[in-house]
Amino acid sequence: MKKIIAFNWKMNPVSKKEAGDLIKECSSGAIVAPPFVYFGLLKNKKIKFASQDVFWEESGAYTGEVSPKMLKDLGVEYAIIGHSERRQHLGETDEMINRKIRASLFVGLKVILCVGETLVIRKKGKKAVETFIKKQLSADLKNISSFKLQALSLIVAYEPIWAIGTGVACDPEDARKTIEFIGEFLVSNFGIKKPVVLYGGSVNSQNIKSFVQFNEIGGALVGGASLKKEEVKKILKLLK
Ligand code: PGA
């Protein structure tokens, strides 16, 4: 299976000129998640776009929010939902995430759902990590039919929080095991036939192969390295 590579720009870069330069490096097949303000400027038929977040209502008095319908209308294909930076620092709860996922699937926006444990949980061991992730997935995907999740190709990204932006990636074999666990959980609890689970957390051109070499790992969600043109070039070349 072809590996999925998604670039999460987070709140970067700070000018439309830099955004335009960066997008030129992202060849066909990559999913790029720029800040909302750049969507209209970065039109590129070869690239699939993702939002970094989305709201659950279609329209109305919700200052500052952007709806799934608006994104669909702009040609955005995916929405990243439940990123740990939003969960940890912006008060995003599993209930909010569940509403966002439902609203996205309702209009046909594909979802990249992020899950992953803190260092404190990690230190408690494998069982604690699995219990935590099971809890996240169960709450985030609560009452959503397997038909919907499947039809709209739900993607899950396993992003251990302690590995995000730290330069300390998860050990690839550990990531493989956790991702295998997530895949099995999605099959047994949500009836998803072929789950797609990515790894994210300090992925770069040096280590990406060590993750995507495994059948269980469907690709990578890349943050920091996706802002460096040379890294982007190398990563995409490696995954061709
Ligand atoms: P990172 O971010 O690659 O900078 O660790 C990954 C992410 O937050 O999706």
Note the pLDDT of residue 153: 82
- Ligand 1 atom, smallest distance to 200 CA: 6
C-alpha 60 – ligand 1 centre gap (Å) = 32
Is 159 an active-site residue?
yes
Ligand 1 pocket, 31 CB below 6 A?
A: no
Handedness of CA 201, 21, 30, 75 (dihedral sign): positive
Which residue is catalytic, options 85, 159, 216, 231? 159
For a pocket test of ligand 1, which of 4, 7, 8, 9 has the largest count of ligand atoms closer than 8 A to its C-beta? Answer: 8
Q: Is 27 left (phi over 0), alpha (psi -120 to 50) or beta?
A: beta
C-beta separation of 101 from 113 below 8 A: yes
Note the pLDDT of residue 36: 96
For ligand 1, atom 1, name the residue with the nearest CA: 223
Residue 167's contacts (CB-CB under 8 Å, 6 or more residues apart) are: 202
* 77-94 residue pLDDT tens: 999 999 999 999 999 999
- Ligand 1 atom, smallest distance to 226 CA: 3
Question: Considering only CA atoms, which of 145, 133, 68 is closest in space to residue 107?
Answer: 68
C-alpha 185 – ligand 1 centre gap (Å) = 24
Ligand 1 pocket, 223 CB below 6 A?
A: yes
From the CB of residue 68, how many other CB atoms can be counted at a distance below 10 Å?
26
Is 89 an active-site residue?
no
The upper half-sphere exposure of residue 78, i.e. CA atoms within 13 Å in the direction of its Cβ, equals 27
Note the pLDDT of residue 42: 85
Question: Considering only CA atoms, which of 67, 82, 144 is closest in space to residue 113?
Answer: 82
For ligand 1, atom 7, name the residue with the nearest CA: 223
Low pLDDT (below 50) residues in the chain: none
Ligand 1 pocket, 224 CB below 6 A?
A: yes
- Ligand 1 atom, smallest distance to 224 CA: 4
Cα separation, 183 vs 199, whole angstroms = 12
